[in-house]
A and B are shown apart, each in its own frame.
Chain A
Amino acid sequence: MSAQEMEMVAPAATREAGRGAGTGILSVQGIGKRFGGLVALNDVSLEVERGSVTGVIGPNGSGKSTLFNIIAGTLRPDRGRVFLNGRDTTRASPAEICRGGVGRTFQISRLFGEMTVLENLVAIAHGASDPEAVERALELLDFLEVAHLRDKWGSELSYGQRKLVEIARALMLRPTVMLLDEPFAGINPRLQNRIVDHLEVLRRRGLTLFFIDHEMRIVLEICHTVHVLAQGEVIASGPADAVRTDPKVKEAYF
């Protein structure tokens, strides 16, 4: 890997490592969230190690999306705290969290439809000059092998193309952590494998990947650590193999 490639996706800095609570780059501590009478999350704690691939799985209604939205700042928890890069981001806005080094993709595509793919990427290149932003956008489109879509309108893309462009867009701000909301849902296995390959390259370059998904095959295949959520609680955590054979997980999920 050349120095330039390193620069392209490597974390902005590890300057804040070790500060604050928790050992990981992302630390979720005792999060609780209720919607009316429904307990969505009950005392969830988990750590995401720097440079790891960490997944959260769980059946529908287990609280995965709620947890994800709390980490990304779109929901406020009732209890508990979230630390990103050692900084307390529990009360931070989504924009602040993003500018603090967190890229995210969405479960349902949220590309800007009436903007071209290039504009989708450049629009959020905060702090970079126009030529820099364009240069970086082209590099990322190249990297994800979607450079030919550059001048297409967001609304023209197919479902799978949107997923790839969304990943490129999330990488524009050189995040240290990527939050991927069901990146493999509803796409064919060929494209799933392509995305897995891209994510693996990104991880080797130092990016931390955190995602939630239903796709057991991929989650167990690529994750170092898997957390299993059921009814708002983490019922199992650990390496994929250990989780796979955990009797509690079998009971809740299979």
Chain B
Amino acid sequence: MKATLVMGTACILAAVLPFVGSEYVLSFTVQLYVFVALAYSWNLIGGYAGYTHFGQVAFFGVGAYTGALMMDAGFHWLVAAAAAGLSGALLALPLGGAMLRVKGPFFAIGMFGMARVCESFALGFDNITQGGTGIYLLPVSDLKPLYFTLAAIALGLVLLTWRLDNSRLGLQLLAIREDETAADALGVRTTRLKIGAFVVSAIAPGAVGSLYATYLSFIDPMTAFAPMTELTTIAMVLLGGMGTVFGPLIGVLAMSVVNELLWSRFPEIYLAIVGVVILFVVLWMPRGIVSFLAHRQWSWVPVARGSLRRLASRPRIAARPKEAH
């Protein structure tokens, strides 16, 4: 209930912001939505299914290029974004089938390699992508539709994750994270589930990549496949809490605000300070802020995955007499 209230207020704020906010506030919020979309997508495969990896930016970059090329060919930026989302999924399907056979560091680093492969394609096929020069696009005159599209994607992913978290599917993904061998032996269709989660986790990054290209009206390999985008996303999810509904949101908000505050005051050393902040949070709360609070069971923190507990706490329909033996 409290969570619904907070979310509702946030939605109303987000809806009026582009009409009252300054240029600066708008660009800050657009960045925020991009990272919310990236963080929630990464949370699906890295947080829930436990397949952490450093290659999500591959989908972001491929989406950015797909979208940019389509807009260059004259398509509307919304159509381009949809196609970019599809391109992310189409890339993730064979990639997941091949890469998800390996676990842990092998998968994590292997995906990092995949992102670098995509980046070198963008650099190398310069007759299509203009190589290192990048693709320049016609700037959109009004940013508001773009803003609302990004906000809708971000909100959609939060709601999707909330649904997932309260479902059997979410529990099965968590079971894969906790112990894949045991999950398999207990009848969980692990291969299908993890590839599915991986493909779904690639859609929004693809679409958002294209929208970001629209926002910048420019894309080049350095921007599209920036390792900094990847690392920031992962740091945000880690900070907030992997495999939780509100973790990525809290992580994105906390890090964006801290970044913004420090960047303006200590431009020379702000990255070093951010690093130290992350270090301390990871040391004290290795499972992130939200998991830390959930284990404390403070009453004002929404307990994740509450639906089962509520079901279990209902008065039992047929209470059995206790067996004597």
Residues of A within 8 A of B (CB): 2, 4-5, 72-74, 93-95, 98-99, 104, 106, 110, 112-116, 118-119, 122-126, 130-131, 133-135, 137-139, 142-143, 150-151, 153-154, 169-170, 173, 197, 201
Q: Complex: how many Å from CA A130 to CA B309?
A: 11
**Do B182 and A123 touch (CB < 8 A)?**
no
Q: Does B13 contact A (CB under 8 A)?
A: no
Q: Does B9 contact A (CB under 8 A)?
A: no
**Do B174 and A150 touch (CB < 8 A)?**
no
Q: B185 contacts which of A2, A74, A123, A137 (Cβ < 8 Å)?
A: A74
Among the stretches B65-73, B228-236, B266-274, B310-318, the one at the interface with A is B310-318
Q: Complex: how many Å from CA A141 to CA B96?
A: 37
Q: B168 contacts which of A122, A138, A151, A154 (Cβ < 8 Å)?
A: A122
Q: How many residues of B contact A (CB 8 A)?
A: 34
In the assembled complex, which residues on chain B have CB atoms less than 8 Å from the CB atom of A114? Answer: 174, 177-178, 243, 287
Q: A119 contacts which of B181, B305, B316 (Cβ < 8 Å)?
A: B305
Q: A201 contacts which of B189, B320, B325 (Cβ < 8 Å)?
A: B325
In the assembled complex, which residues on chain B have CB atoms less than 8 Å from the CB atom of A135? Answer: 316-317
Q: Smallest CB-CB separation from A128: which chain B residue?
A: B168
A139/B320 contact (C-beta < 8 A), A72-B185, A119-B308, A124-B188 known = yes
23 contacts between A and B (CB under 8 A): A4-B318, A74-B181, A95-B186, A95-B188, A95-B189, A95-B190, A98-B186, A106-B185, A112-B174, A114-B177, A114-B178, A115-B174, A116-B309, A118-B308, A118-B309, A119-B308, A123-B168, A124-B188, A134-B308, A134-B311, A138-B312, A139-B320, A142-B322
Q: Complex: how many Å from CA A231 to CA B184?
A: 29
**Do B308 and A112 touch (CB < 8 A)?**
no
In the assembled complex, which residues on chain B have CB atoms less than 8 Å from the CB atom of A126? Answer: 187-188
Chain B at the A interface: SS class: helix
**Do B316 and A138 touch (CB < 8 A)?**
yes
Q: Complex: how many Å from CA A169 to CA B185?
A: 12
Q: Does B142 contact A (CB under 8 A)?
A: no
Q: Smallest CB-CB separation from A155: which chain B residue?
A: B178
Q: B186 contacts which of A113, A169, A201 (Cβ < 8 Å)?
A: A169
Q: Does B172 contact A (CB under 8 A)?
A: yes
In the assembled complex, which residues on chain B have CB atoms less than 8 Å from the CB atom of A150? Answer: 312
Q: Does B23 contact A (CB under 8 A)?
A: no
5 more contacts with CB within 8 A, not counting A119-B305, A123-B175, are: A74-B185, A106-B185, A112-B183, A116-B305, A118-B312
Q: Complex: how many Å from CA A210 to CA B124?
A: 60
**Do A95 and B325 touch (CB < 8 A)?**
no
**Do B187 and A124 touch (CB < 8 A)?**
yes
In the assembled complex, which residues on chain A have CB atoms less than 8 Å from the CB atom of B307? Answer: 130
B75 CB, nearest partner CB in chain A, Å: 43
**Do A151 and B309 touch (CB < 8 A)?**
yes
A123/B187 contact (C-beta < 8 A), A5-B320, A74-B181, A150-B312 known = no
Q: Complex: how many Å from CA A132 to CA B168?
A: 12
In the assembled complex, which residues on chain B have CB atoms less than 8 Å from the CB atom of A74? Answer: 181, 184-185
**Do B182 and A125 touch (CB < 8 A)?**
no
A109 CB, nearest partner CB in chain B, Å: 9
Q: A123 contacts which of B172, B190, B309, B311 (Cβ < 8 Å)?
A: B172
Q: Complex: how many Å from CA A123 to CA B184?
A: 12
Q: Does B95 contact A (CB under 8 A)?
A: no
Q: Complex: how many Å from CA A123 to CA B308?
A: 10
In the assembled complex, which residues on chain B have CB atoms less than 8 Å from the CB atom of A138? Answer: 312, 316
Q: B325 contacts which of A94, A134, A197 (Cβ < 8 Å)?
A: A197
The residues in B between 147 and 182 inclusive whose CB is less than 8 angstroms from any CB of A are: 168, 171-172, 174-175, 177-179, 181-182
Q: Complex: how many Å from CA A224 to CA B320?
A: 31
In the assembled complex, which residues on chain A have CB atoms less than 8 Å from the CB atom of B186? Answer: 95, 98, 104, 124, 169-170, 173
A89 CB, nearest partner CB in chain B, Å: 13
Q: A112 contacts which of B168, B175, B190, B295 (Cβ < 8 Å)?
A: B175
Q: Smallest CB-CB separation from B297: which chain A residue?
A: A151
A115/B178 contact (C-beta < 8 A), A122-B168, A134-B308 known = yes
**Do B175 and A124 touch (CB < 8 A)?**
yes
Contact with A along B181-204 (1 / 0, CB 8 A): 111111111100000000000000
